[in-house]
Amino acid sequence: MARRGLLLILSSPSGAGKSTLARRLMEWDPTIRFSVSTTTRLPRPGEEDGREYYFRSREAFEDMVKTGEMLEHAEVFGNFYGSPKGPVETAMQQGRDTLFDIDWQGGQQIRNSALGRDVVSIFILPPSIAELESRLRSRAQDTDEVIAGRMAKSRDEISHWAEYDYVIVNTDLDKAFAELTTILQAERLRRDRQPDLSDFVRSLNREFETR
Amino acid sequence: MARRGLLLILSSPSGAGKSTLARRLMEWDPTIRFSVSTTTRLPRPGEEDGREYYFRSREAFEDMVKTGEMLEHAEVFGNFYGSPKGPVETAMQQGRDTLFDIDWQGGQQIRNSALGRDVVSIFILPPSIAELESRLRSRAQDTDEVIAGRMAKSRDEISHWAEYDYVIVNTDLDKAFAELTTILQAERLRRDRQPDLSDFVRSLNREFETR
């Protein structure tokens, strides 16, 4: 049966495994659409417009906000980031879910938008802060100052855990991934995400009448 | 981590496979407590007090309703049925889920009770009415009149499908069972069902402070 696509929001401090989980989820179900954010920051070497981000000027970004084309947007470390609304609405109508890898500011805005009732939000927690820092240090040759900035942002991010529908503690990646797919499968079974059920029950009633 | 037990309500017309699904769920997770109903109807041959039902007199039943010991109760075919509240509260405090095999009347009452926020309700639909009737006819040597009564009750039951959180169409029993366990596992991951998360996040914050 056809269903209405949902908006799956994944948030976590960086280093908690969110990006790995998001990537595995897209492989697990290729019909899921990843919401590519628009940003005003400059592309880094190897980044492609439309893949990692849509890279736009400050003016173009502000225009999109003004005309209501942004589902959410926020400023982080002096740059703007936002999620374009059009592709999300198209995916929903096609019965495709959209995955958002965004922070608590974006999560709050989407939950409070007109699409709020289609949101399923999941917060990923690290097993410990020592583990979080070790993952941050292992994946890049960042300076201590940069690491300290990331850790401060992580603490701020974690402080918003209680705004999310579900919480997964990522102690073991396979277990966390299984929990993520379980949540998505269950949410797809919610009555209000299965619009064809009304027609199906009508057909059952017709069958009662013609017995 | 410890969690608060939830109240899993399964409803469906008889013949949709609900009892089989309930029994398999109890085997799948023996910590789930089945809510044995109290009834004023007489035991049938082979039925034991406390196993199929608690068999009570009309007076004893009415006393339990008056003193608030019934989580829900209803009259069906001239007999009273109800779910005792005490064992449910005990199970919840122990972090054990309680499974209710009840009809829409009971479902409505529990959802609207003080325990309503702990309810997860699932409606099981048959693939067709022909299939429902064939299952009803195959399992008992009931008269056409009894079957007709059951079918009328089934139609009434189905009319309440839209009051449930989740809907499973039981076309294939294994698939329906997988969907049932998926829903239960996901619901256990809801933030508000994991009370220990607050302590866990406090421990993460202490770790931030002592870095």
**pLDDT score, position A146:** 86
CB contact under 8 A, B207 and A166: no
Secondary structure, 3-state, chain A: CCCCCCEEEEECCCCCCHHHHHHHHHHHCCCCEECCEEECCCCCCCCCECCCEEECCHHHHHHHHHCCCEEEEEEECCEEEEEECHHHHHHHHCCCCEEEECCHHHHHHHHCCCCHHHEEEEEEECCCHHHHHHHHHHHCCCCHHHHHHHHHHHHHHHCCHHHCCEEEECCCHHHHHHHHHHHHHHHHCEHHHCCCHHHHHHHHHHHHHCC
Q: How many CA atoms lie within 13 A of B100 on its CB side?
A: 34
DSSP designation for B120: E
Say if B147 is an interface residue toward chain A (CB within 8 Å).
Answer: no
Say if B160 is an interface residue toward chain A (CB within 8 Å).
Answer: no
Q: How many CA atoms lie within 13 A of A144 on its CB side?
A: 0
Say if B60 is an interface residue toward chain A (CB within 8 Å).
Answer: no
Q: Is the pLDDT of residue A17 over 80?
A: yes
Say if A101 is an interface residue toward chain B (CB within 8 Å).
Answer: no
Closest CA of chain A from B165, distance in Å: 6
* Residue scoring higher pLDDT (B146 or B125): B125
Residue-wise pLDDT tens digits, B93-118: 899 999 999 999 999 999 999 999 99
What gap in Å lies between CA A188 and CA A182, rounded to an integer?
A: 10
Single-letter amino acid, residue B200: F
Query: How high is the ipTM of this complex?
Result: 0.88
Q: Is the pLDDT of residue A174 over 80?
A: yes
Taking contacts as CB-CB distances below 8 angstroms, the residues of chain A near B210 are none
Residue of A nearest to B179 (CA): A186
Q: Is the pLDDT of residue B1 over 80?
A: no
**pLDDT score, position B5:** 92
Q: Is the pLDDT of residue B76 over 90?
A: no
Residue-wise pLDDT tens digits, B148-195: 888 999 999 999 999 999 999 999 999 999 999 999 999 999 999 988
Residue-wise pLDDT tens digits, A38-82: 999 999 999 999 998 999 999 999 999 999 999 999 988 899 999
Taking contacts as CB-CB distances below 8 angstroms, the residues of chain B near A190 are 165-166
Q: Is the pLDDT of residue A84 over 70?
A: yes
Band of residue A1 on the pLDDT scale cut at 50, 70, 90 = low
Say if B207 is an interface residue toward chain A (CB within 8 Å).
Answer: yes
Q: Which of B129, B201, B207 sits opposite A207 (nearest CB)?
A: B129
- Which among B49, B42, B37 has a CA at the least distance from the CA of B87? B37
**pLDDT score, position B144:** 87
Residue of B nearest to A187 (CA): B183
Say if A166 is an interface residue toward chain B (CB within 8 Å).
Answer: yes
Residue of A nearest to B201 (CA): A158
Say if A207 is an interface residue toward chain B (CB within 8 Å).
Answer: yes
B 15-54 residues inside an 8 A Cβ radius of A:
none
A7 near A88, Cβ under 8 Å? yes
Mutate to test the interface with B, among A136, A160, A166, A168 (most CBs of B within 10 A): A166
**pLDDT score, position B137:** 87
Give mean pLDDT, residues A18-31. Answer: 96
Domain edges within chain B: 7-35+97-209
Taking contacts as CB-CB distances below 8 angstroms, the residues of chain B near A133 are 211
Q: Is the pLDDT of residue A9 over 90?
A: yes
CB contact under 8 A, B191 and A151: no
Write the DSSP assignment of B58-86 as a string of letters: HHHHHHHHHTT-EEEEEEETTEEEEEESH
Query: Strands A70-76, A166-169: parallel, antiparallel or unpaired by DSSP?
Result: unpaired
Q: pTM (2 decimals)?
A: 0.91
**pLDDT score, position A50:** 93
- Which distant-in-sequence residues (6+ apart) come within 8 Å of B135 by Cβ? B15, B16, B17, B126
CATH class of A7-35+96-209: alpha beta
Taking contacts as CB-CB distances below 8 angstroms, the residues of chain A near B133 are 211
Q: Which of B167, B197, B204 sits opposite A129 (nearest CB)?
A: B204
Strand partners, A39: A55, A81
A180 near A120, Cβ under 8 Å? no
Say if A175 is an interface residue toward chain B (CB within 8 Å).
Answer: no
CB contact under 8 A, B190 and A166: yes
Residue-wise pLDDT tens digits, B37-49: 999 999 999 999 9
Say if B179 is an interface residue toward chain A (CB within 8 Å).
Answer: yes
Residue of A nearest to B128 (CA): A204
Taking contacts as CB-CB distances below 8 angstroms, the residues of chain B near A189 are 166-168, 179, 182-183
Q: Is the pLDDT of residue B199 over 90?
A: yes
Q: Which of B166, B190, B207 sits opposite A130 (nearest CB)?
A: B207
Residue-wise pLDDT tens digits, A99-148: 999 999 999 999 999 999 999 999 999 999 999 999 888 876 788 888 88
Closest CA of chain B from A188, distance in Å: 9
Residue-wise pLDDT tens digits, A141-155: 788 888 888 899 999
A82 near A66, Cβ under 8 Å? no
Query: Strands A37-39, B37-39: parallel, antiparallel or unpaired by DSSP?
Result: unpaired
Give mean pLDDT, residues B129-137. Answer: 91
Q: Return the CATH number of the domain spanning residue range B7-35+97-209.
A: 3.40.50.300
